[in-house]
Structure 1
Amino acid sequence: MNKILSQDQIEAQNGNLIDEIIRMSDFNFERLPMLDIIGERLADSLAVALPDLTGVICEASLSQLDYVPMAQAMDALPAPAMLAVCSSPNLDGEILLAMDSTVLMTAMELMLGGTPKGESPHVPDRFTAIERGFGQRLATLIMHELQSDFSMVGTIELELDRVETDPDAAAVTQPANLCVRLHFAINMAGRTGALEIILPYDALEPVRAKLGKIHFGEPSDEGNPWREQLSDQIGRSTVELEAVLAEVPISIRDIMKWKIGDIVNLWIEEEHDATVVCSDTPMFRAAIGKRNNGNTAIRITETLDPEEEAKNHGRNDH
């Protein structure tokens, strides 16, 4: 149902819109399209990095990117919020990471081995020293991912200066100065929280020229950031390895006759090495033994060439 506005309300809204246009016209700036790309990459990076810290699947998306004065950005922060101030020798000022209580409390519960269910019932008035410690760990991870994603436009070394809970103590520039605000939606364990990154426009001066134009993957003096990004993501991936002790051909007729207590002869010596296989590809030879605690373990004794092993396996089949 449409709401009918009075003449005074219409005039008030028009006045607010005009004030906003006048206020934004006071800023002399150009949009930085590379920040949109960096923001999207950061969302993808967080979706990979956060599960390493929390142990659950996480989803992250860049929901908003806008240019606002610092005062407006600070007024829009969630309350309470964990505020991390970061600095860089490659920038002309500090940047601010802000995460709401949902992101912080859910991540902390997961890092402590809990299993969050439903919406977070606990919204603290202020954060304890323990919660601030977990917030620092989370902010450090986010800062590392942001630093990595900035590599496509230049080397940005970020350092976590301090963690604050008071917005006045976390202001990274003057209230009237223009900032770029990136708002992310973070979903963990069925809960959706907010993460904001506030970049003062003046602080980006050393890399503003590169942020102002779109890079289409051309080579640069800084190396190949896409290759580095891909290598970093591959390095975090997990694979399943199998230690195969022996392979013995047995007819289905014989297998159907097996019963509890039957012994299957593997035709190998006790010191026989196992073959470590990944996705049906032989990778290593390994000796089998036991650790002091009684657990069975393997020791890599030889690195195999998958192509050579495939050729040998083909000859053996014939």
Structure 2
Amino acid sequence: MSDNELDPTAALPKDEPLTPENMAAEWAAMPDMVDEDGEPEGGIDRLMSQDEIDALLGFSGGDDKGARTGIQAIVESGSVSYERLPMLEIIFERMVRLLSTSLRNFFTDNVEVTLESIRSVRFGDYINSVSLPAMLAVFKAEEWDNFGLVTIESALTYTVLDTMLGGKRGQPAARVDGRPFTSIEINLLRRVVGVVLGDAQAAFNPLSPVTFTVDRIESNPRFVSISRPANAAIRVELRFDMEGRGGSLHVLLPYATIEPIRELLLESFMGEKLGRDPIWENHLATEVWQTDVDVTCVLHETQMPLKRVMKLEIGDTLMFDARPDSVVSLRCGEFMVTEGRIGRVDDKIAVQVVSPLHRSKTTMAAFDSITSHLSSAS
């Protein structure tokens, strides 16, 4: 038996890429291997090459690295992907700069703060990934009427406690497992959380004033259910480095918490006003005031059966329930503008307005929405 009979990729054209679809087709088209008596050969299995295994798992080295196939596509289908919020990155960059100064004054020691990552996660997945022991502080955004979470990992927790209680510099913090945090330790960590939330509040202030207050401190992730497990949240990871020791601090904001300022977070820079061009608005208003519209004067309207209308002939008379002093309606298209009485001025027919104009029910908010869509489309 030749090697080509054992290798299903030998029948593929050289210019055709190896994919799970054509690989499966080749396997299905292969004849069963039989011996001279027509019986299946024993002890010989169909073996997959390394390229076939990579294609099945989705790790084929093609040029299109953004596309995922095979098992990897199934695994990554559960990942959270939400819209990018450019202003959020600017806010937390500003928060890092504020924290670098605040923590140096708080610890009277050199503290380096870096922004590691900003990513979207599911709340349940994040809670399950928290390694114990850890300190979890639930805080409330008063103006947004919702909650957020600050998580201090164990390495940073013991580093902070060791530094605040007079530990020596340059030595790793002692880690004591198997016991809950004491009231003194919780109060010390609450002060650190207060510093972090204070700088976060100052970072959000130019965009949207907000007040962050600590609601409670927990050490068990099961007791911080501030959102549904499947809901999306933004996880901001900050790295604290204190002369070779430190750890990570996470700020978790559910998407429901930042929903009141979502439009502001979509801006590329502070103060950006998308779709509001004063020059364009003034030009639109000028053109609208100079626009000519057709106004129809309706003397009277009546309804009659269709068969009667079909029987009308020249000379027939239609009777209207109206008098010479009856009120007529002035309409612009299907919209009724006002009412008046008909008369004559010189050799022209005139209408005297007897009631105020009917105002449009379109609110100013709806007008702003319409103008924003029009400006975006232009």
Q: TM-score over 0.5 for the alignment?
A: yes
Q: How many residues align?
A: 214
1:196 to 234, 250, 263: 250
Match of residue 269 from structure 1: none
Equivalent position of 2:212 in the other structure: 158
Matching of residues 1-318 of structure 1 within 5 Å: 7=53, 11=57, 17-19=72-74, 21-24=76-79, 29-125=82-178, 126-216=180-270
Deviation at 1:207, TM superposition (A): 0.8
Q: Which residue number corresponds to residue 283 of structure 1?
A: none
Which consecutive unaligned segments of at least 5 residues does structure 1 have?
220-318
8 Å contact kept, 2:156–2:240: yes
Give the TM-score normalised by structure 2. Answer: 0.52
**Pair 101,18 (structure 1): closer, same or farther in 2 beyond 3 Å:** same
Offset at residue 9 of structure 1 (A): 11
SS of 1:145's partner is: helix
Matched residue of 2:228: which SS?
coil
Contact 1:62 1:185 in 2 (8 A): yes
Which residue does 1:316 correspond to in 2? none
Secondary structure in 1 matching 2:223: helix
Residues 20 and 157 of structure 1: CA distance in aligned 2, closer, same or farther (over 3 Å): farther
Letter in 2 for 1:151: N
The answer to whether the Cα contact below 8 Å between 1:164 and 1:170 also exists between their aligned partners in 2 is yes
* 1:202 alignment partner, SS class: coil
SS in 2 for 1:119: coil
- % identical aligned pairs: 29
Output the amino acid matched with 2:221: P
Would you say the 8 A contact 2:136–2:150 is kept in 1?
yes
Q: What's the offset of the Cα at 1:105?
A: 2.0
Say whether the 8 Å CA contact 2:55–2:70 is kept in structure 1: no
Q: How much has 1:202 moved relative to structure 2?
A: 1.2
Give the 3 Å change call, closer, same or farther, for CA 218–7 of structure 1 in structure 2: closer
Contact 1:43 1:60 (C-alpha < 8 Å) held by counterparts: yes
Distance 1:78 1:97 in 2: 14
Distance 2:211 2:255 in 1: 18
* Aligned 8 A contact 1:55 1:111 in 2: no
Aligned twin of 1:275: none
TM-score computed with the length of structure 1 as normaliser: 0.61
In 2: Cα distance, 1:203 partner to 1:19 partner: 30
Query: 1:187 & 1:22 partners in 2: Cα distance?
Result: 35
Higher RCO, 1 vs 2 (CA within 8 Å, ≥6 residues apart): 1
Moved more, 55-64 or 91-100: 91-100
AA of the residue aligned to 1:148: A
Q: Read off the aligned partner of 1:167 and give its amino acid letter.
A: P
Name the amino acid aligned to 2:123: M
Deviation at 1:186, TM superposition (A): 0.5
What amino acid is the match of 1:86?
A: F
Q: CA deviation at 1:77?
A: 2.2
Alpha-carbon spacing, 1:9–1:112, altered in 2? closer, same or farther (3 Å)? farther
3-state secondary structure, aligned to 2:120: strand
**AA partner of residue 73 (structure 2):** I
Q: Distance in 1 between matches of 2:239 and 2:265?
A: 23
Per the TM alignment, residue 32 of structure 1 is displaced from its structure 2 partner at its CA by 1.1
Larger-gyration structure (1/2): 2
C-alpha contact 1:85 1:163 (8 A) present in aligned 2: yes
Q: Which runs of 5+ in 2 are unaligned?
A: 1-49, 60-68, 274-378
TM-superposition CA deviations, 1:136-172 (whole Å, max 9, x none): 1111111111111111210111110000000010122
Secondary structure at 2:233 match in 1: strand
